[in-house]
Amino acid sequence: MGVPIIGCPCAICQRKEERLRSSALLTIGGKKLLIDAGPDFRRQALLHKVEDIDALILTHSHYDHIGGLEDLRIIYYQKKEKIPCYLSTETLQEWRTKTHITPLFSPYILPEKSGPCTIEGLDACAFYFWQNDTKVQGYRFGDLAYITDISDYEEEIFSHLSGISTLVISACNLKRSPLHLGLECAVAFAEKTSANKVFFTHLSHEIDTRIVSFPGSYSNVEQTQAFAYDGLTINFTY
Ligand SMILES: [Zn+2]
Ligand SMILES: [Zn+2]
């Protein structure tokens, strides 16, 4: 729902700490890849001067991740060509059942199974997990992995994360729910990877980033964890 939530009297919503819907822009060797375009895309693009992208990558087709797709039309108009859109068969099918696929995009279907793939000529890895009954894709580029809207996964996922240094993972709430791991389980997940920098994203108004401390103890003392925030820039190696 984003933060602040309309009409919510809670302290976080009242202090108007804005958390727009989760998205990320990857810049790799001059290529700009946008991960998801939720209903806040237009505002995010204006705020952070995202004036063009080379491709769109989708994680899944829930509204908070695709609600702003139509606002990418300015990029289509300027380039006068369709925007490549990388996604799974399932995401494409669900997108079709929710709304028409506008002619703005050329879909590129990712391999059905988790593993290496090529995105805009770049070596990447797309791996799958679940948000309740929805199949969701995570992505790895170099030493960075981006995982959002995860509630269930198979242990095999860690084989695709081997050697990563930076992990972006959704937390949403403090406790686990049918749709999200929650901060506690997200921390436990991160601890099972080699990431020494972990950023928690997709935070709801339940998480007061000023007072919540990270649960659990860390075997990897070098690991730094932080709450992501709108406009955060992270460097990674590709
Ligand atoms: Zn609230
Ligand atoms: Zn979401």
Alpha carbon of 35 to ligand 2 centroid (Å)? 12
**CB under 8 Å to 215, separation ≥6 — which residues?**
183, 184, 187
The dihedral through the CA atoms of 168, 75, 87, 149 has a sign that is: positive
Res 216 pLDDT > 70: no
* Centroid of ligand 2 to alpha carbon of 65 (angstroms): 6
Q: How far is the CA of 38 from the centre of ligand 2 (A)?
A: 9
Evaluate if residue 219 carries a pLDDT over 50.
no
**Which ligand is nearest the CA of 204, by number?**
1
Q: From ligand 1's centre to the CA of 97, what distance in Å?
A: 31
Domain assignment present for 191: yes
Using the mean position of ligand 2's atoms as its centre, give its distance from the Cα of residue 80 in Å. 30
Q: Which ligand number lies closest to the CA of residue 1?
A: 2
Is the confidence at residue 36, as pLDDT, over 90?
A: yes
The tokens describing 2, both together, are: 């984003």
Report how far ligand 2's centroid is from the alpha carbon of 55 (Å). 20
pLDDT exceeds cutoff 80 at 100: no
Q: How far is the CA of 64 from the centre of ligand 1 (A)?
A: 17
Residue 46: inside a domain: yes
Reported as a pLDDT band with limits 50, 70 and 90, residue 96 is confident
209 CA distance to ligand 1 centroid (A)? Answer: 13
What lies within 8 Å, CB to CB, of 159 at 6+ separation is: none
| Residue 116 near residue 124, CB atoms below 8 Å | yes
Q: Which ligand is nearest to the CA of 203?
A: 2
pLDDT digits (tens, 9 = 90+) for 112-151: 999 999 999 999 999 999 999 999 999 999 999 999 999 9
How far does residue 9's CA lie from ligand 1's centre (Å)?
6
Q: Is the pLDDT of residue 234 over 60?
A: yes
Q: How high is the mean pLDDT of the chain?
A: 93
5 part of a folded domain: no
**Helices (DSSP H) in 144-213: which residue ranges?**
157-160, 182-191
Cβ atoms of 166 and 197 closer than 8 Å: yes
Q: Is 224:198 a contact under the CB 8 Å cutoff?
A: yes
pLDDT reported for residue 221: 45
Q: Is residue 232 part of a domain?
A: no
Q: What is the DSSP letter of 152?
A: B
Residue 134 is assigned to a structural domain of this protein: yes
Per-residue pLDDT tens for 168-198? 999 999 999 999 999 989 999 999 999 999 9
Residue type, 139: Y
The residue segments making up the domain with residue 213 are 11-227
Domain-located, residue 236: no
Containing 166, the helix (H) or strand (E) segment is strand 166-170
Ligand nearest to the backbone CA of 23: 2
Q: What ligand is nearest to the CA atom of residue 134? A: 2
Residue (of 169, 176, 178, 232) closest to 206 by Cα position:
176
pLDDT score of 149 = 97
In a domain, residue 108? The reply is yes
Q: Where are the beta strands (DSSP E) in 12-154?
A: 24-28, 31-35, 55-57, 83-87, 105-109, 115-119, 122-131, 134-141, 144-147
Q: What is the mean pLDDT of residues 44-62?
A: 96
- The count of domains in the chain is 1
CA separation for the pair 111, 88 (Å, rounded)? 7
Mean pLDDT of 204-227: 74
Handedness of CA 73, 50, 88, 96 (dihedral sign): negative
Is the confidence at residue 76, as pLDDT, over 50?
A: yes
In a domain, 202, yes or no: yes
Q: Who contacts 54 (Cβ-Cβ below 8 Å, separation ≥6)?
A: 31, 32, 33, 84, 120
pLDDT at residue 139 in the model: 98
Task: Residue 194: give its domain's CATH number.
Answer: 3.60.15.10
- Cα(70) to ligand 2 centroid in Å equals 18
